Amino acid sequence: MTIKFIIDGKKVSGNTGDTILDVARNYDIEIPTLCHHKAVENWGGCRLCIVDIGHRIVTSCLYPIKAGLDVKTDSPRILKNRQMILNLLLAQAPAAKEIQELAKKYGVEPMPLVKGKATHKCITCGLCTRLCAAQGAYAISTVSRGPEKSIGTFWEKPPEDCIGCLICASNCPTGAIEFHEKAGTRKIWEKDFTLEKCKTCGATLPLTTEQVKHYSKRSNLKEEYFTTCDDCRRVGTANTFLDLIHDPSGKLMEKWETAQLPPLKMPSPTKEWFEEQKQKGLLKTEKDIYEEAGN
Amino acid sequence: MKKLEINAYKCWGCKTCERTCSAAFNEEAPRINVIAKNRNARVPLTCLHCGDPACMQACKFEVISRNSKTGAIEIDLIKCTNCKACLSACPYGNIIWENKRERVVKCNLCGGDPKCAKTCPSGTLMFV
């Protein structure tokens, strides 16, 4: 069902179940976020997405839309609160560049607050833990509460369940998670991984051994799918196409289809196909192509 | 529904398709690659928009879907977490790791009007 309401004086609409942030993003209305990611559940952890709905201030990433809402993303109340939130985040994570940029954008004047460590970037938004859970690894979580709350592993040891997929590090809003790669190895959360090598040419792949096992198991695809490098796979595909081209009987194409390999949505230029195209008048001559390109 | 035909026997290896694609995406890595210098032939390769895509099966976050209008398989780039599962699962190597913006991309048939087919001088790529 369509629900109509207003954001910043603009008439907008959305479906039942959408949040204010979903609709704002559809209309390109800017609302800053840090802990939000479309791939996992909405969290409301960083509080940066707050909006003013008149009688209350709510997090737009969690508040479901209702008919007749009058939402303001930049009322004086919101600007003041947003500046306070950014001040607190700046104090917690002094090294986070993204927060410094946001602070500059919203005209934040730094307050004298007790600062975290000068190299600290983590804002404990928990996005990494939700992505890790969605991946099915459950290797990291938030530990402790209050001012000591942080992201950590079980008993602060290298996590057994971590597969080294880097989904936490790639999506962290402040780049707070460190990892190191060198000479076919990867290290994250103090755990060492070996990167897989291409079975054909030996090039290093961006996947760890544990990652390959995990991906192939959960998607029901054989491990062979994941252990050839991009270039070898493309050369292999080119070779297959060339074999199909040089097989006018069409038998290879049949074998391809009966092996239930992902179907190619392209006709192979067999003799029959050529005849068909000629009959339909679809076989272009070089002259036709040049004329068309000339327009 | 139209399909992008790759008549590889006609390919000149000029890589105009690669440059057009790159230009269409702000000089990023092209979503189409010409495999030349292999068996004395030239084969342009791009996403085959498979009937039963391995990439869709590999993705855990429901980021890959089929566009009902164009029939193309598309990655929702905002929802994607760049875990590279689809990139590794594609048996044809047609999903690209875009190095400039550090994300996973692939051909989406330009929303129904592929630019590579428009600029291919040899008639290798035809959108019919």
ipTM score for this prediction:
0.90
Mutate to test the interface with A, among B1, B37, B81 (most CBs of A within 10 A): B81
- CB-based contact (8 Å) between A201 and chain B? no
Residue B121 has its nearest CB partner, among A261, A263, A289, at A289
Interface touch A226/B97, C-beta < 8 Å:
no
CA–CA gap between residue A167 and residue A99 (Å, rounded): 21
- Confirm if B103 and B86 have CB atoms less than 8 A apart: no
Q: Look up residue A204 and give its two tokens.
A: 């290093």
Which positions 35-54 of A are in contact with B (Cβ < 8 Å)? 37-40
Query: Is the torsion defined by CA of A11, A12, A16, A18 positive or negative?
Result: negative
CA–CA gap between residue A250 and residue A271 (Å, rounded): 9
Q: What is the pLDDT of residue B35?
A: 92
Interface touch A266/B92, C-beta < 8 Å:
no
- Number of other residues whose CB lies within 10 A of the CB of residue A185: 14
Q: Helix (H) and strand (E) counts for chain A?
A: 10, 11
For residue B56, the chain A residue with the least C-alpha distance is: A219
Give the H or E element holding residue B33.
strand B33-38
Helix (H, G, I), strand (E, B) or coil at A9: coil
**A11: CB partners within 8 A, 6+ apart:** A4
Q: What is the pLDDT of residue A270?
A: 53
Burial class (CB in 10 A: 0-12, 13-18, 19+), A159: buried
Q: What is the pLDDT of residue A287?
A: 57
Positions of chain B with pLDDT lower than 70, given as ranges? none
Interface touch A264/B48, C-beta < 8 Å:
yes
% helix, strand, coil for chain A, step of 5: 40, 15, 45
Q: What are the beta bridge partners of residue A143?
A: A150
Q: Look up residue A230 and give its two tokens.
A: 């991009």
Instruction: Classify each residue of A55-81 as buried b or exposed e, where b means 16 or more C-beta atoms within 10 Å of its C-beta.
Output: eebbbbbebebeeebebbbebeebeeb
**What is the β-pairing status of strands A179-182 and A150-153?**
unpaired
Positions of chain A with pLDDT lower than 50, given as ranges? 262-269, 295
| Cα–Cα distances in angstroms (integers) from residue B67 to residues A159, B55, B57, B76, in the given order | 39, 15, 16, 11
CA nearest A34: which of A25, A22, A43, A23?
Answer: A43
Q: How many residues does chain B have?
A: 128
| Cα–Cα distances in angstroms (integers) from residue A251 to residues A2, A242, A246, in the given order | 53, 14, 11
Q: How many CA atoms lie within 13 A of A232 on its CB side?
A: 16
- Angle formed at CA A215 by CA A22 and CA A132, multiple of 5 degrees: 50
Q: What is the pLDDT of residue A267?
A: 40
- pTM > 0.95: no
